[in-house]
Structure 1
Amino acid sequence: MLKIIAGFEKTLYGILLFLLGIVLIASVLDLAYIVFEYIFDERTFPLLENKEILSIFSLFLLVLIGIEFFETILAYLRENVIHVEVIIMVAVIAVARKIIVLDTSDTTTAHLIGLSLLMVSLGAAYYLVRHSNGLYPLKKE
């Protein structure tokens, strides 16, 4: 019975991986279309506004988040283990994306402090996970 459930779970992960791959391909094509539209449009290319540049950066980071999720699902299918390190990196990229495209006109100090604490916490978590794997020893011997 447990083998059937494990097989069903692997099948679901495979379907998720396939669907995420389709979404990633569509996202990359959409991003390429937007970038080329800006480059070849004589009216906007030399004078891209900050909001346009930030929206392009936001799309790039969104694609990177999708790729990290893809890698997480793929690693689970290969090794039957979810890599916490990759999940933390996805969170770091997501928060960094939020900070990069943050509109400062309607942002409170508490919001900025919260984002700062979140980044510090994720950085500490990433360091601790890497250290627990022996990749960043605290002292050299």
Structure 2
Amino acid sequence: MLRAIKRFEKGIIMVLVVLMSVVLLLSTLELAWIIIVDIISPPVLLLDISELLDIFGLFMLVLIGIELLDTIAKTYMAESVDHAQIVMAVAIIAIARKVIILDVKELSGLALLGIAAIILALSVGYFLIKKRDSAAG
């Protein structure tokens, strides 16, 4: 019974890898399209701040998708990989994306402190996981 569950789990993971690959391909094509349209629209070869933020946001989103694909493909296919470390790395990348596209003028000081606390907590957690792994191995 346990072997059947493991095979089922591996099958689901393979489906997720294929679906994530399709999503990454489509989002990369969309990113390329947005860049081309923004560059050829007047003023030619100039991007305003909102266009740059949109491009950077989508770029970071594709990078997060790549990290998720890597997480799904490597972590869940191999039993020996530490899932916590990979999940923390993906979370750090996701919060970094949020910070990059963040409009600081629209947020309160308390919200900015909350984001800083999240970044600090994720960084400390990642550091502790890495430290534990280096001490164990």
Structure 1-normalised TM-score?
0.87
Output aligned runs, 1:5-84, within 5 Å.
5-46=5-46, 48-80=47-79, 81=81, 83-84=83-84
How much identity, in percent, do the aligned residues show? 37
Higher mean alpha-carbon deviation, 34-43 vs 91-100, is at 34-43
How far 1:93 sits from its partner (Å)? Answer: 1.2
Higher mean alpha-carbon deviation, 73-82 vs 86-95, is at 73-82
How far 1:92 sits from its partner (Å)? Answer: 0.8
CA contact (8 A) 1:14 1:77 kept: no
Structure 2-normalised TM-score?
0.90
How far 1:88 sits from its partner (Å)? Answer: 1.0
Partners of 2:96 and 2:106 in 1: how far apart?
18
Deviations 1:48-107 (A, max 9, x none): 211110110000100010001100111134313453222111111111111111122321
CA contact (8 A) 2:28 2:62 kept: yes
Task: Name the CA shift for 1:102/1:44 in 2 (closer, same or farther; >3 Å).
Answer: farther
Match of 1:93 in 2: 93
The amino acid of 1:111's aligned partner reads: A
Q: How many residues align?
A: 134
Match of 2:128 in 1: 128
Higher RCO, 1 vs 2 (CA within 8 Å, ≥6 residues apart): 2
Match of 1:139 in 2: none
How far 1:41 sits from its partner (Å)? Answer: 2.6
Unaligned runs of 5+ in 2: none
CA contact (8 A) 2:38 2:51 kept: no
